[in-house]
Structure 1
């Protein structure tokens, strides 16, 4: 049942098409998404503590993530339906689109990440995840042919990635040892994310990206909950604050990915993906503030990493005049 006129929906669509392509709007909204994703770093750690999930309980972590994404799907569908003026329900073909996005964006990405993270250091995992911008742009340019690969994009990615390495570099350095079940699976999770971005870009041209976001979370949440449960994971809600933390993590995922999907609809993948370099910066800064991990990073180190990432974004945008 529709309760908003087609004229109003068309007007909203025209406004979004006009403003979401503007550079300052893109920068602002992409930064908001990255901030929300970055807040999940300390949020998940706090959630594990409050839900009494140990760091080596991979099955319980996957189950916890499944509950989080299922709730995120409910939130996106509910508020998306209010905004659209009708209940968002996929058609037969749209179910296939949402399922394919969910396979890469939620199911494969997070299951591979959680298993890989259990077999590698968090610092190395963060740096590998930071490479997702490279992989996303290469996937969009060379495999799906959605845009051209330019020197500016490559150079901007390299500079931004240097910032990700710097923000995660500890005084003692890192071990260079790698394994398939550790670093290999984390790398595959970033490949899954890259494919999800370009697939979302493709389908958002014909489908409502908010609807796709909501149902891909819902499908992914159900699958991950089942996988975690079958692996032996069990969780319970021990307190009200634990429930609120789970709800916040669901909200952060729902809001961040909904904004991201709208930006992908109206902009080239590379112009959006390059902001992913901001996520680990926000994650480290918020972890320092909320988890008292300030001994792991200095103010100078954080500022230098942020400067590198910002410069990398600017360089990648030099390929054509900015829209203001």
Structure 2
């Protein structure tokens, strides 16, 4: 049983399942505060939550002294740039369009890894299976309806979200390059707490300060989201630094986040129920995952 839960694909699914629960928590928290302040506090707390998991606390100081630029680079792409752009972009485009762009993150991760990693080349078959997964996400998002909005703002919002996806892909590559150099748990703790602090400071210059006097639902959502960030990113960093794990192969599992999110919505949110077109979209996404696995297995 222990071996089962340590399998790369099982851990990837667990991380994606945790991430899929974040949408409800973000929705609750944003009722009481501003996006960047909420994100900054969330990731700062998440980084602190990971510290007890670091086996050798001295490694935190040692890693910062020996590899400050490497830690800073991961923090910039994985937290500061990614989540600043993410919250900014989502505020500028309709939800359906945002879902499509964000759902295409595995494609951008594969493309970025293909450009930056010599051992992670993207074949036409892999590209075809990834495109099939994106088609499933488009089908689900399109079913929810397209909202009219100012065209220029939408274009800017889409561009911002694309840059967020690229930042995520670059961050994943830099984490993978630190295999055997910095403990993934220590790295995640440092980059997340520092990144969260920077995002919060940035928010003070562009958002009105919302204060800290909030009702219980805010703190419950903040606590849950901080735990998600700490647990899911630590798992992800561990997987990225495993021998033989490729960035493009691992990121393909992020396609299942919309599936888990929809199922949880049907279970938790009143009035939500399964519909034919979203189910068809999920089947397409699932098929793309299976095909990608088969292609990847034959290519080795």
TM interval, shorter chain, is 0.7 to 0.9
SS in 1 for 2:100: helix
Measure the CA separation in 2 of the matches of 1:175 and 1:162.
Answer: 22
Q: CA deviation at 1:290?
A: 3.2
SS at match of 1:111: helix
Matched, 1:308 2:281: no
Mapping of residues 18-167 of structure 1, within 5 Å: 25-49=7-31, 52-53=32-33, 60-79=34-53, 81=54, 84-89=55-60, 90-167=63-140
Residues 1:235 and 2:211 aligned together:
yes
Q: Indicate whether 1:191 and 2:166 are aligned.
A: yes
Change (3 A) 1:137 1:205: farther
Determine which of 194, 197, 205 is the counterpart of 1:222: 197
- Runs of 5+ in structure 2 lacking a partner? none
CA deviation after TM superposition for structure 1 residue 269, in Å:
1.0
Gaps of 5+ in 1: 1-15, 54-59
- Does the 8 A contact of 2:96 with 2:144 survive in 1? no
Structure 1 residues 113 and 157, CA gap change in structure 2 (3 angstroms): same
Q: 1:321 to 1:62 in 2, by over 3 A?
A: same
Q: Is the 8 A contact 2:94 2:146 kept in 1?
A: no
Task: Give the whole-Å Cα distance in 1 for the aligned partners of 2:166 and 2:293.
Answer: 23
| Matched residue count | 290
Match of 2:222 in 1: 246
Per the alignment, residue 202 of structure 1 pairs with: 177
Paired with 1:171 and 1:243, the residues of 2 have a C-alpha distance of 30
Q: C-alpha distance in 2, partners of 1:279/1:251?
A: 17
Structure 2 CA distance for partners of 1:173 and 1:119, relative to 1, 3 Å: closer
Structure 1 runs, 4 residues or longer, greater than 3 Å off: 85-88, 171-180, 287-293, 319-322
* Cα RMSD, aligned residues only: 2.4
Whether the 8 Å CA contact 2:29–2:217 is kept in 1: the answer is no
